[in-house]
A and B are shown apart, each in its own frame.
Chain A
C-alpha cells in the first residue's frame, strides 16, 4: 500500500525557521515526483512545487519561488518543505502529494503549520 506520512503539527513564531517532512513507502520513491500543496484556512488548494527524488530536479510555482525550499533524501525516502523565516501568512495546512505525471495519485494526511506571536 502506498503511503505518504507527514510530520506532525507545528506552532512557530514569526521569523523562526521550519522544516516539515513527508516519508513515502509502498512504491519506488525515486521514480515519482513528490509535490507540496498549500491550503490556507478556509481557502483553496495552491500548488507550491515538486521534486524528483531520483535526481533532485526541483520546480517551483512562481508564487513560492524564493519563499520555500523543497528537498528530498532518497536514502530514507523522505521529502521536505522548509522555511528560513516564517510569516503569519504561512499559517496553513500543507499536503505532500505523489504525482503520476498527469495527476496526483496519493495525498499525505497534511501538516498544519501555525505561525503566531
Chain B
C-alpha cells in the first residue's frame, strides 16, 4: 500500500490561506470518510488537527478546516499565523487488513 500523496511544500503570508491536498485511492481516502490531519513542529510529536474529514478536536482553532472530494482530501489553514509553520500529514483508514496509511507530508512556511 503506497503512501498518500501530498505536495512537499506550501506557503503563504500571515493572514492568507493555504490549502494542502492529500490524494489516495478508492481503497483509502475515497472509500471512507476517515481522513485525519496532523501537525508536527520540529522535534515534537504530531498533534491531531482534523478527523473524519472535517471535524475539529476541542482546542483546535476554527482557522483549520478539512474537506474531501473523491480520492482527494484537503486541509485549509485560513488567516495564517507564524505558529502554523510546521509539517502537516494526512492519514486515512484503508480497511481492516492494513488499516491505516499516512501522507508524504507537507511543509508549510509562513512567509
Contact = CB atoms under 8 A, between A and B. Distances in A.
Interface string B39-55: 01000011110011000
Contacts of A99: 100
A107 interface: yes
A60 B100 CA distance: 10
Interface stretch (A9-17, A24-32, A43-51, A66-74): A43-51
Interface residues of B, number: 26
Nearest to A60: B98
Contacts of A95: 45-46
Contacts of B38: 45, 104
A47 to B, nearest CB: 5
A61 B1 contact: yes
A37 B36 CA distance: 15
A102 interface: yes
Interface of B: 1, 3, 34, 36, 38, 40, 45-48, 51-52, 87, 89, 91, 93, 96-105
| 7 cross-chain pairs, A with B, having the tightest CB-CB distances, nearest first | A103-B51, A44-B105, A103-B36, A107-B45, A102-B34, A45-B102, A47-B100
